[in-house]
Structure 1
Amino acid sequence: MKTVSSIVENYIKTKPFLLSALSQGIINLTSLARNIMTELDVELGKEVKQGAVVMALKRLSDDLDFRVNHKISKVLKNIGEITVRSSLVDYNFGVSETILNSQAELISEINKYPDIFYTSSRGVNETNIVISESVAYLVDKHFAGEKLLEKTDNLASITIKLPKENVSTPGVYYFIFQRLAWEGIIINEVISTSYEFTIFVGDDKVDVAFKVIKDLKNL
């Protein structure tokens, strides 16, 4: 059975930025209720009283404040080391029968350079390699026979160590990416493990992105 509370919650869940703002208590609930009345009337099939919508929003915002802010803030306060690397190049190749051999040859050669940055990820149809600009020529050399889909220069990486609680707390990555989106940060690539993840952004945005992530520890 549809109720005002369930319809309001389902509506808010489809609006990620509104959901976050509501959880932070920075929205005028009366104004929000007035703006969404028409859509709720259609969904419920009858006229909804504004007071009922305001009450539903109030209960939801209180619940979200606990579910989102308290649990996620506990994880974010325990963020560990944040490491930044600059002057990186991102290669995107199509998967082929020979690409693993090409990658093995590359890894064998870059082992001579202990201080360079290198990481890779493979999807169903694509393989990405992010590497220090100083040895990017080695990718060009060993992957000459592979299909290059895209190459992006002038990138920087930010690697964040997360506490173990992050794997059992929903919304941690969403919360971080949302804050970056608010600042207009375009994330070119994301690579993660269980307790660590790395984002790649333009060199010109790395300072802003670093500040956003660092400030999360003070929520």
Structure 2
Amino acid sequence: MKTISAVVEQYIRKKPFLQSALAQGIINLTSLSRMVKPEIEEELGKEVRNGAIVMALKRLSDDLEFRATHRIVKVLKNIGEITVRSNLADFTFLISESILENQSLLLNEVNKNKDVFYTSSRGVNELNIVVSSTMEGTVQELFQGERCTQKVDNLSSITVKLPAENVSVPGIYYFIFQRLAWEGIVLYEVISTTNEFTILVNDEQVDMAFKTIKDLKTL
């Protein structure tokens, strides 16, 4: 038999933004109960008092396991170096038989200048290259025979060093990206390794993105 608490919890867990806002205590429970009441009643097949829904919501917001944020916050407090690079260009090419050879030629050019920013990721159908704007001409020359589906200029990167335990705590990336989304920050690219991730944002939003990530260390 379904209980009000179980149905309310199921409803909230399907809405991550609502779940986090509830866990942080920034939602009026009475107003929220009135909003979700129709769906809770439909799921239970009977009328439900607002007070019962409020009590279920309060139990959820007080539950440390529901928040799960205490483990995430512990990791985020130990965020390491945050590195910002500006004046970057982002290229997206379709995969071809010659693209790896051209990428190898680009790496040779990048290695001649240690101050140049370079990162790349490959998907099933696309190859993404992010370089310092000073290398734009080189990329366009070496990849002139490739099909470029997108090029974006005036980007900045923020690279974040995460503690090793990030791989054993679920929700780390969700928690970070949720905060960025709340600030209206658009992510052009996300590139990650085991203990490090890099985001690309518009130059105009890099200061806010940096502050948002840095503030995670003081949660």
Q: TM (normalized to structure 1)?
A: 0.96
SS of alignment partner, residue 217 of structure 1 = helix
Quick check: 1:106 aligned with 2:103? no
The alignment yields a C-alpha RMSD, in angstroms, of 1.3
> Structure 1 residue 65: deviation in Å?
6.7
8 A contact 2:60–2:66 mirrored in 1: no
SS of alignment partner, residue 192 of structure 1 = strand
SS of alignment partner, residue 146 of structure 2 = coil
Question: Unpaired runs of 5+ in structure 2?
Answer: none
Instruction: State the match for 1:29 in structure 2.
Output: 29
8 A contact 1:87–1:132 mirrored in 2: yes
Instruction: State the match for 1:41 in structure 2.
Output: 41
SS of alignment partner, residue 149 of structure 1 = strand
User: How many residues in Structure 1 have an aligned counterpart in Structure 2?
Assistant: 219
Residues 71-109 of structure 1, C-alpha deviations (whole Å, 9 max, x = no match): 111011100000000000000011111111111111122
Question: Unpaired runs of 5+ in structure 1?
Answer: none
8 A contact 1:88–1:154 mirrored in 2: yes
Instruction: State the match for 1:17 in structure 2.
Output: 17
In structure 2, C-alpha distance between the alignment counterparts of 1:190 and 1:114, rounded to whole Å: 22
Of 207-216 and 105-114, deviating more is 105-114
Residues 25-66 of structure 1, C-alpha deviations (whole Å, 9 max, x = no match): 111212211211111111111112222211211111122576
Instruction: State the match for 1:158 in structure 2.
Output: 158
SS of alignment partner, residue 179 of structure 1 = helix
In structure 2, C-alpha distance between the alignment counterparts of 1:63 and 1:116, rounded to whole Å: 48
Letter of the 2:18 partner, please give it.
L
Instruction: State the match for 1:50 in structure 2.
Output: 50
Identity of matched residues, %: 66
Letter of the 2:135 partner, please give it.
V
Q: TM (normalized to structure 2)?
A: 0.96
In structure 1, C-alpha distance between the alignment counterparts of 2:66 and 2:17, rounded to whole Å: 17
8 A contact 2:64–2:70 mirrored in 1: no
8 A contact 1:87–1:156 mirrored in 2: yes
1:43-82 equivalent positions in 2, closer than 5 A: 43-64=43-64, 67-82=67-82
1:83-98 equivalent positions in 2, closer than 5 A: 83-98=83-98
The list of structure 1 runs, each at least 4 consecutive aligned residues, that deviate by more than 3 angstroms after superposition, is 64-67
In structure 2, C-alpha distance between the alignment counterparts of 1:46 and 1:66, rounded to whole Å: 26
Instruction: State the match for 1:170 in structure 2.
Output: 170
In structure 1, C-alpha distance between the alignment counterparts of 2:10 and 2:146, rounded to whole Å: 46
8 A contact 1:159–1:197 mirrored in 2: yes
Instruction: State the match for 1:182 in structure 2.
Output: 182
Letter of the 1:114 partner, please give it.
K
> Structure 1 residue 119: deviation in Å?
0.3
> Structure 1 residue 15: deviation in Å?
1.7
8 A contact 2:154–2:203 mirrored in 1: yes
Instruction: State the match for 2:214 in structure 1.
Output: 214
> Structure 1 residue 3: deviation in Å?
2.1
Letter of the 1:46 partner, please give it.
K
In structure 2, C-alpha distance between the alignment counterparts of 1:74 and 1:215, rounded to whole Å: 13
CA shift in 2, pair 1:128/1:113, >3 Å: same
In structure 2, C-alpha distance between the alignment counterparts of 1:165 and 1:67, rounded to whole Å: 19
8 A contact 1:24–1:69 mirrored in 2: no
